[in-house]
Amino acid sequence: MSIQTEQNKATVIRFNRECLEKGNKSSLNELVAEDVINYAAAEGMPNGKESFSFFLKNVLHQGFSDIEVEIFEQLAEGDLVSTRKIIRGTHTGEIAGILPTGRKVEIKVIDIIRLRDGQYVEHWGMSNFDQVLRGLS
């Protein structure tokens, strides 16, 4: 595996630790390119860099605390990194009109990221987030 491929995997791990777990906006600005395309953005929502900021601030960190990401596998080839992970947290804030329940949640995710110069430039993802929300209501 090339040095660049290993660096790309490390960048994705860093994004998960600093952005998803901690909600660090300066890391988000550093790791996500201005011209990124988020193919996993909800229909009708912006799919650029602001989609990452919105998800972190207004969804993940607004609705959940004690956020931890467990990465099970990463596969990398060229400029692509695929990650299978679980995002765990406690439902302590209102989200999608659902009042806090105090329940522990597990969001199962598979992401594919294209990187350029150490930044996310494309993102595809699948998760059970809708199912998690239904389980909270």
Sequence ranges of the domains in the chain: 3-136
Q: Are 79 and 8 in contact (CB under 8 A)?
A: yes
Q: Count the neighbouring beta carbons within 10 Å of the beta carbon of residue 19.
A: 25
Give 14-57 pLDDT, tens digit per residue.
Answer: 999 999 999 999 999 999 999 999 999 988 889 999 999 999 99
Three-state DSSP state, 90: strand
Mean pLDDT of the chain: 96
Q: Count the neighbouring beta carbons within 10 Å of the beta carbon of residue 87.
A: 21
Give 80-96 pLDDT, tens digit per residue.
Answer: 999 999 999 999 999 99
What is the CATH code for 3-136?
Answer: 3.10.450.50
